[in-house]
Structures are given as structure tokens and as C-alpha cells.
Amino acid sequence: MKSTTSKTDYRAVVVSLLVAILFWVMNALNKENYTQKIAFPLRFNYNDSLYIPTQPLPEKVSVNVSGNGWSLLRKALALDITPIYYTVKKPLQTKFLNTSTLTDSLSEHIKDVKVNYVIADRFDLEFERRVHKTITLKVDSLHIPLHEGFVVSSLINLHPTSIEVDGPESAFTELGEFLYIKVPGRRIQENFDEEIKIPLPKNTNLKASKERVQVSFEVSELLK
């Protein structure tokens, strides 16, 4: 009987302790003027049909905010965080993110907490003009690696014959009106029909409508 009473007393103490902790937490969360660092998603507004960033744009920004405990808890748990939009009006002249402007923008969009400051001195930005160009593809027929005594005996078929390329202006300095496709292999003596990778300049911001091209032609041996 004594053992049962002890267990009951133990459970009562635990329940009382949990209730006390709950009330303390709720009372604490109702208080004002807590300060917290919170990361907000960051999105950029700019004319992406005319300009392109040449380095990754920051996706988040850390902000020092203060306010009610409940509001900060919701933000910390990402329960009601909406993306913050930053407008870049002159991309070619804008070299960094203005944290003062961003702070003002945050204050306009976030009403339940006070925005104190953005935790960053500077975010570098780099934009270039976006260029869209049609490049004609041609096979480098003078350097097809044929076996001695063999020749290309048909038209060289190429599909597609052109591609659309999109990217920053500086990436096009290596691209002319034509792009020559080099046939791979060694001592070819049979009909050729393969997909070949298009040799575009190595630039992560350069996008092409096709990455590979189909090349085919017939090969014959010269009569002796």
C-alpha cells in the first residue's frame, strides 16, 4: 500500500513540475523586447530578360530583430516567414546590396517584430547584359580522323544545324557566328553515325538549346 502511495506522490510532483514549467514558458513568451537573429529568404527583382547575374545571388539574409517572444518563436521556427524582395533598378551599376535599403524594406513587410539591422556589411552583386544568339554548327571536315586510304563518300549530315545560346555578354567573346564540331575517333574506316558534344565555352551562366549534335556520313575505301 505504501509503494502505491509513493508512486502517486511521484507522479503528482512530476505533473506539477511540468505545469509550472509550461506556465513559466508561456509567461516568458508573452514578454516584449526579446532579441533574436533570424534568417529570411531573399529574392531579387530585376529585368531578367535584359540582365543576368554572373555570380550566385544570396538566397538568405540574417537579420537582428526584437519583439514579443511568441512572434520571435514563430520566426525562428520558420512558421510564418515570407521571402523578402529586393529590387535592383540598375543592374549594371549595382555592385553590392544596400543593407540600409534592405532594412527599410524589411521594416515595411514585417510588422510583428522590429527590424534592428541586417547582419552583413556587404553583399557583392555582379550583373551583365543578357545576350541571346543563334550559332550555326558546322563539321570540321578537314580534320576527320580517317584511316589511310579511306574518304568521306557522302554528304555530312548534321542535326541540328544551329543552336540557340543564352548568357552574359562576356561569355560570347569566344563565340563567333559559327561553331565547328570536331569528329572524335581514330582511323575511321566505317560509316559514322554518332552524337557529339557541342564544344561550348566553359561558363556556368551560358545555356544552349542543345548540348549534343548528331553527325553522320558514309566512308569508302579508295580504289587502288
184-215 pLDDT, tens digit each: 988 899 999 999 999 888 877 889 999 999 99
Task: Identify residue 154 by its one-letter amino acid code.
Answer: S
Determine phi and psi for 146, rounding to 5 degrees. Answer: -85, 150
What's the mean per-residue pLDDT of the chain? 80
Q: What is the pLDDT of residues 166-187, one digit of tens each?
A: 999 988 887 888 899 999 988 8
User: Would you state the pLDDT for residue 19?
Assistant: 47
**Cα Rg of the chain (Å, integer):** 33
Q: 73 pLDDT band (50/70/90 cuts)?
A: low
Cell 545560346: give the residue.
165
CA–CA distance, 174 with 200 (Å, rounded to integer): 9
Task: Identify residue 41 by its one-letter amino acid code.
Answer: P
CA–CA distance, 20 with 23 (Å, rounded to integer): 5
Q: 61 pLDDT band (50/70/90 cuts)?
A: confident
Note whether 66 and 116 are within 8 A (CB).
Answer: yes
pTM higher than 0.85, yes or no? Answer: no
H or E segment and range at residue 174: none
Peptide bond into 145 cis (omega under 30): no
Note whether 82 and 88 are within 8 A (CB).
Answer: no
- CATH second-level architecture of 132-221? Beta Complex (2.170)
CA–CA distance, 131 with 137 (Å, rounded to integer): 18
Q: 24 pLDDT band (50/70/90 cuts)?
A: very low
User: Would you state the pLDDT for residue 220?
Assistant: 93
